Amino acid sequence: MDLILWRHADAAEGPEDQARPLTPKGIKQAKRMAAWLRVQLKDVAQYRLICSEAIRSQATARYLRADAEVDRRINLGGFNAAYLELAHWPRDIGKVVVMVGHQPHIGQVASLLLTGKELDWHTRKGGIWWIQRRVIDGRVKYVLKAALGPELV
């Protein structure tokens, strides 16, 4: 199973957090990462795309695909466990799930999967963690396939 944790791109400041749109910089970040992800996922027949209710999260996801599932459980301030629950981690063997969400959740979920502890790992706006669960010689391994900011793609 592959889980791609994607932090929303740069958003405008504003009094209503959920309503903040992407900035021109954020649009560029989202377009770049989405283009890179499309190339990486071109041979994947089907993958799930899930985002939070925040406008900035939905806008980021739309650059990858227009049909993202919107779920309030991964809104800012939610529980990190919701990311794993929604992704069906690690039960959906062979599946790919892309989740567009928020800091600190993205970094904390990535650290939990890679170290077994929720640590405050920073994730750049528009950046991804691509984590793969594989069984090698009968043992479960968690592999960091990619960790990228949008400026690197």
Q: What tens digit of pLDDT does each residue of 44-82 get?
A: 989 999 999 999 999 999 999 999 999 999 999 999 999
Residue 52's pLDDT is what?
A: 98
Which of 110, 101, 138 has the alpha carbon at shortest distance from 3? 110
> What gap in Å lies between CA 41 and CA 37, rounded to an integer?
6
pLDDT tens sequence across 110-148: 999 999 999 999 999 999 999 999 988 999 899 999 999
pTM, 2 dp: 0.96
Residue 2's pLDDT is what?
A: 97
> What gap in Å lies between CA 153 and CA 64, rounded to an integer?
14
* For range 28-32, the mean pLDDT: 98
Q: Where are the domains of the chain?
A: 2-152
Q: Is-contact 34 63, C-beta < 8 A?
A: yes
* For range 90-98, the mean pLDDT: 90
- Cβ-count burial 93-105 (b if 16+ within 10 Å, e if not): eebbbbbbbbbbb
Q: Is-contact 134 6, C-beta < 8 A?
A: no
Count CB-CB contacts under 10 A for residue 28: 16
Instruction: Name the CATH topology of 2-152.
Output: Rossmann fold (3.40.50)
